[in-house]
Amino acid sequence: MLPKKRILSINVSQGKYPEFVDNIVELANERVSSYVCVANVHMLVEAHQSKAFQKIVNDADIVTPDGMPLAKCFQLLHQQPQDRVDGMSLLPALLEEASKSGLSVYFYGGSKKMISETTKYLANTYPSLNIAGAYSPPFRTLTEDEKDNIATRITASGANLVFVVLGCPKQEKWMNEMKGKIPAVMIGIGGALPVLIGMQRRAPEWMQKNSLEWLYRLMQEPKRLFKRYFSTNSTFLYLLAKEKMTVHKKEMPYG
């Protein structure tokens, strides 16, 4: 499994982009009950504010540096370069690998309309892909019986990869709860799915490379995202500055 480095409040996996894909595919082939967190600034701040959620993220088998700020933190904090492994690129890469190798996929979460559009998109784009199933759960807290029934349903489908579309932190909590119950690798893909199937647009490449993808999403959904981005980005910058000052003090020679 890929090694991890501490990035402020979470442990993020380290490696080249293809290594992440290979490791996830290996878990899928072996049907290891496991989960992958696709970490961005929002997830990092959520983990900083909640020790319980921090443990959920740190217990993940793989934590990818989804956001460019997290990838750059490897250089800033550990003097090591790191590829960005974002969900919007990882999702189609895994679907392509699954299509080639015969791995079956399951989609859990999202609205009924999104699930319907997803199955249409996959049938057209990946005609040889084995779709084990797709399910849009009720938009409420599920009972224990409902959770058990869902785990049984997904297990019976024979899925190798389960793409979870519940949003952070709900999807990470769900995957953690289902580890040991579903013999598959679960990947929290959040907002990557609506972009893939064309329900939302992705930021231009220049914005992606300059850590401005959040700004593009904010322009698309200002009412929903303004408060979250203002709060999380400010907290992230504060935590990063604090960490850099701590490291600097430790490195200062004593005279």
Mean pLDDT of 123-135: 96
Q: Is residue 127 part of a domain?
A: yes
Q: Residue 202: pLDDT band by 50, 70, 90 thresholds?
A: low
Q: Is residue 152 part of a domain?
A: yes
Tokens representing residue 98 in the block? 């699954």
Q: Is residue 253 part of a domain?
A: no
- pLDDT over threshold 50, residue 255: no
Q: Is residue 128 part of a domain?
A: yes
One-letter amino acid for residue 136 of the chain: S
Q: Is residue 156 part of a domain?
A: yes
Task: Tell me the pLDDT tens digit for each residue of 46-84.
Answer: 999 999 999 999 999 999 999 889 999 999 999 999 999
Q: Is residue 236 part of a domain?
A: no
Q: Is residue 226 part of a domain?
A: no
Residues 6+ apart with CB under 8 A from 161: 24, 28, 94, 98, 103, 104, 105, 106, 184, 185, 186, 187
- pLDDT over threshold 50, residue 137: yes
Q: Is residue 227 part of a domain?
A: no
Task: Tell me the pLDDT tens digit for each residue of 232-241.
Answer: 888 988 898 9
Would you state the pLDDT for residue 250?
A: 58
Number of domains in the chain: 1
Q: Is the pTM of this model over 0.85?
A: yes
Structural domain range at position 30? 4-209
- pLDDT over threshold 50, residue 173: yes
- pLDDT over threshold 70, residue 1: yes
